[in-house]
Amino acid sequence: MKRFSLLLLSILGILIMPLAQAEYVIKFSHVVSPQTPKGIAADWFAAEVNKRMAGKVRVEVFPNSQLYNDNKVMESMRLSKGKTGLMAAPSLSKFVKFSRQLQAFDIPFLFNDLDDVHKLADSALADKMTAPMERKGIKAMAFWDNGMKVFSIKGDRPLKNIPDDFKGKKFRIQSSNVHEAMIKTLGGTPQKLPFKEVYTALGQGVVDGQENAWANVYSKKFHEVQDYITVSNHSYLGYLVVVSADFWKDLPADIRKELTAIMQEATEVNRKAAADADNNNRKSIEGAGYAKVVELTPQERAKWKQALAGVEKKFAGQIGKELLAEIHALLGN
């Protein structure tokens, strides 16, 4: 009888154990292809978490807006509770209503290159910029790169001379008031459209051009429906990896620590993928023969920069004049 009781207790222990060790699930939603820097890093993060934290945390990735678009995912994230949490990496322009300070990343010609971006993203200033979001149900995890932006256009000449080459042209932009002001300053007409609608809009002439990083231009084949790409490197296209704040707070401390460490590694994977894409995707686009790639001369770039200087002034009050001064001091410009 004693042996039977011990056997029964062992069986009950086996049955109860999985309930006590029920894993947490993170659904990682994003809107781009798995072949982009964001897609590569999201898949790497999921694979590493699922390997290292098996039985504790499982990450499922949903690319190409399969689960949510960037607007809906953040609203759903704020309501997410329990053992299933939402993670996403929307473009920085999507976070204005959560932190106006993040509009600094949209300012044209604020950054010379990705090294400048990383100086800000890895600084205490970035933490100051994301802090207001947590009170609104969103926890910032990491800044991820796509790359510096280039302009594309369908027409008889490339975008070089401003405002002449922009006049009468409609440009798809992200949902950013900074981008809207930039296009208007350059002489064009801005059109806010979801990312998944851009290829069709370009192909059907709903818009004439767009601005994006090389990885997005190539992965979504925008170059096949455009005539010219201008290497302007005028602005940064990056993402903020975020997770449900309530879900994050409810995780055990050791799990939060391990997820944070893996996310830091995933950020390095993302940055390398973005650097590779800048080089390789541009070469692939040039080799495809659809759109002609043209460079701005130093004089043309200086003219663009001077013309767009007023955009920063326009948004300085929202971003914070003191914060902008600190950013310029950090970047040395």
Nearest to 202 by CA among 70, 290, 289: 290
Q: For the residues 263-289, what does the mean pLDDT come to?
A: 94
12 pLDDT above the threshold of 60? no
* pLDDT at site 6: 45
Asked if residue 12 and residue 80 are part of one domain, the reply reads: yes
How far, CA to CA in Å, does 298 sit from each of 141, 144, 164, 230, 331?
37, 28, 18, 13, 20
Structure tokens at 37: 């820097």
Asked if residue 141 and residue 6 are part of one domain, the reply reads: yes
For the chain, what is the domain count?
2
Asked if residue 307 and residue 193 are part of one domain, the reply reads: yes
Bridge partners (DSSP) listed for residue 209? 153, 171
How do beta strands 57-62 and 209-212 pair?
A: unpaired
Asked if residue 250 and residue 293 are part of one domain, the reply reads: no
Nearest to 73 by CA among 244, 247, 193, 250: 244
Asked if residue 73 and residue 124 are part of one domain, the reply reads: yes
Asked if residue 62 and residue 170 are part of one domain, the reply reads: no
How does residue 280 score in pLDDT terms, banded at 50, 70 and 90?
A: very high
Asked whether residue 101 is assigned to any structural domain, the reply reads no
Q: Tens of pLDDT along 30-88? A: 988 898 899 999 999 999 999 999 999 999 999 988 777 777 877 788 777 778 999 99
Asked if residue 243 and residue 230 are part of one domain, the reply reads: no
CA distance 286 to 204: 23
Asked if residue 244 and residue 216 are part of one domain, the reply reads: no
Q: Is the dihedral of CA 315, 318, 322, 325 positive or negative?
A: negative
Asked if residue 248 and residue 223 are part of one domain, the reply reads: no
Asked if residue 292 and residue 245 are part of one domain, the reply reads: no
Domain that holds residue 28: 2-94+114-145+238-280
The answer, yes or no, to whether the previous bond of 132 is cis (omega within 30 of 0) is no
Identify the CATH number of the domain in which residue 293 sits: 3.40.190.170
Asked if residue 139 and residue 35 are part of one domain, the reply reads: yes
Asked whether residue 102 is assigned to any structural domain, the reply reads no
